[in-house]
Amino acid sequence: MATVAFRYGMGACLALIGLLSVILNCFLFFICVKRKRLRKPSQYFLISLAVVDILAVAGWLSLTAVSLFNDGWIFPSEICKVQEYIMSLWLFLNSHSFVLLAFDRCLLFVRPSKHSEIFINTVVLIMLLALWLFDGILAAFPYFGWGTVSYFSNQFQCAMDHEKNIRETNFVTALCFGIPITLCMGMYLFIFIMIRKIKKREDDNGALIVERNRKAIGDSYSQRLRNQQYRFQNAGTRAIKPNIGKKFTYTEDGYISNDSSDDENTKETVQKGTQKQNVQQKKVYHMAKNDTLLTKTYIIMTCLTFLLWLPYLVVTYIFLKDRFANISDELVFVVIFLCQCTTLVKPVVYVTYNSHFRKHVIKLFRRKINKQTDGESNSQTDGQGYDNLAMQQ
């Protein structure tokens, strides 16, 4: 059994981590929503992670802290299942979100033209809705009879009883650790190789070229439809009959036009459509410094999260192999403590490492300060004008 000093000390540390996690995740959520340039579709995954971290603090970390101070579980058995559900939901959502973030970065460095078509508001929102629905169902498997939930006094939390559910444990391990870690490592390694290739391609100004979109008609599906409209905008109209004895030629749309006619509108429209299409065909995508910085941030977040969960995975399989393994209760809870620290790791890494995000924070607060000073100066000016008017009267 854990000593009283150990329980109170770890309970205080856990409460502090939970408080900081809620503050930083709310701060991250507020800045991403408030700043228009941060409200990009790919950033929605980061906002989703902030929401699930706050949910984890409320329904997972806080209940463990209460159990530490009371030396046992004091809540009803239904709350025990809720805690295990939120812990499983957090694990599923984080693992699968990291895969989607890696795919987002990989597509951006391989085919930015396709990235701009796929990662749009509607598609990303559908991805997030499907992700929450899929992971919510997976986390609810114990409610359907596949898995047993119990309270563990050495962990001070409710969790899956892995000794009674070996198949379910192997399934969760493969779905939350094996497959996501393999996919993330493969995609980030591919990004590293692509960046080395991109650094060899430069334009006249020294900017790094990711893709030259020469063959594509447009950058998006809507743009291609617009170009089709330019192409066939005169389709179905009545063809101009040539006058005998006058020179005539065919337009690009296949209609006959008279050289001596004064109708220049059709020629100008065709020329504008052709020029617009040529400009889009020659579009070049360059590698931005912010994209590289955000990729490094995601890599650090992913590695730290999986590394902090690795001791829990090792201890779990040690007990599966030998249920009487000589591991102290204090060490077991330290492993649980590291897992719960991951609710704080992601916002700390993003806020401290990403200098682009910090610039947006500074701009937001400067804008508020400037608005306040402008409001005070306007009120002072109005007050002086009112005093002068009274003196004149």
- CATH code (residue 193): 1.20.1070.10
Question: What tokens does 354 get?
Answer: 């990403």
How many whole angstroms separate alpha carbon 47 and alpha carbon 29?
6
In whole angstroms, what is the distance from residue 339 CA to residue 123 CA? 32
240 in any annotated domain = yes
Same domain for 220 and 84: no
* Same domain, residue pair 318 and 235: no
pLDDT > 80? residue 291: yes
Say what the pLDDT of residue 110 is. Answer: 86
Question: Does residue 191 sit in the same domain as residue 237?
Answer: no
pLDDT value for 267: 45
Residue 285 confidence (pLDDT): 73
Q: What is the pLDDT of residue 244?
A: 46
Q: Is residue 189 part of a domain?
A: yes
Please identify, among 240, 258, 281, the residue that sits at the C-terminal boundary of a domain. Answer: 281
pLDDT band at residue 294 under the 50/70/90 scheme: confident
Better-predicted residue by pLDDT, 241 or 48: 48
In a domain, 96, yes or no: yes
Residues 49 and 93 in one domain: yes
Percent of the chain past pLDDT 70, that is, above it, reads: 72
Q: Give yes or no for a contact between 60 and 54, defined as CB atoms under 8 angstroms apart.
A: no
The pLDDT of residue 282:
53
Confidence band of 371 (pLDDT split at 50, 70, 90) = low
Half-sphere exposure of 109 (CA within 13 A, CB side): 25
Res 275 pLDDT > 60: no
Structure tokens of 315? 């201890």
82 shares its domain with 199: yes
373 inside domain: no
Categorize the per-residue pLDDT at 126 as very low, low, confident or very high, splitting at 50, 70 and 90.
very high
Task: Please tell me which residue, 96 or 248, carries the higher pLDDT value.
Answer: 96
Q: How far apart are CA 55 and CA 21, in angstroms?
A: 11
Helices marked H in the chain = 4-34, 44-56, 62-70, 77-110, 112-118, 121-139, 166-173, 179-198, 221-231, 265-281, 289-321, 329-353, 355-392
Mean pLDDT for 245-274 is 45
- What pLDDT does 257 receive? 43
Same domain, 83 and 232: no
Q: Could you tell me if residue 364 is inside a domain?
A: no
331 shares a domain with 229: no
pLDDT tens-digit series, residues 21-49? 999 999 888 888 777 777 788 788 989 99
24 with 64, same domain: the answer is yes
pLDDT band at 259 (very low <50, low <70, confident <90, very high): very low
Residue 230 has pLDDT above 70, yes or no: no
Answer whether residue 219 shows pLDDT above 60.
no
| Average of per-residue pLDDT across 330-359 | 87
Q: How far apart, in whole angstroms, are the C-alpha atoms of residue 159 and residue 141?
A: 13
Question: Is the same domain home to 237 and 190?
Answer: no
Mean pLDDT to the nearest integer, 119-138: 92
Per-residue confidence (pLDDT) for residue 144, from 0 to 100: 78
Do both 335 and 227 map to the same domain?
Answer: no
Is 362 part of a structural domain of the chain?
Answer: no
Q: Is the domain of 291 the same as that of 226?
A: no
Helix (H) or strand (E) holding 285, with range, is: strand 283-286
Query: Based on the structure, what is the number of domains in the chain?
Result: 2
Q: Are residues 138 and 188 in the same domain?
A: yes
Residue 246 predicted with pLDDT over 60: no
In a domain, 376, yes or no: no
Residue 37 belongs to domain spanning: 4-203+286-353
pLDDT above 60 (res 220):
no
Query: What is residue 361's predicted lDDT score, i.e. its pLDDT?
Result: 72
pLDDT-based confidence at residue 390 (cuts at 50, 70, 90):
very low
Q: Is residue 199 part of a domain?
A: yes
Tokens of 158: 């409710």
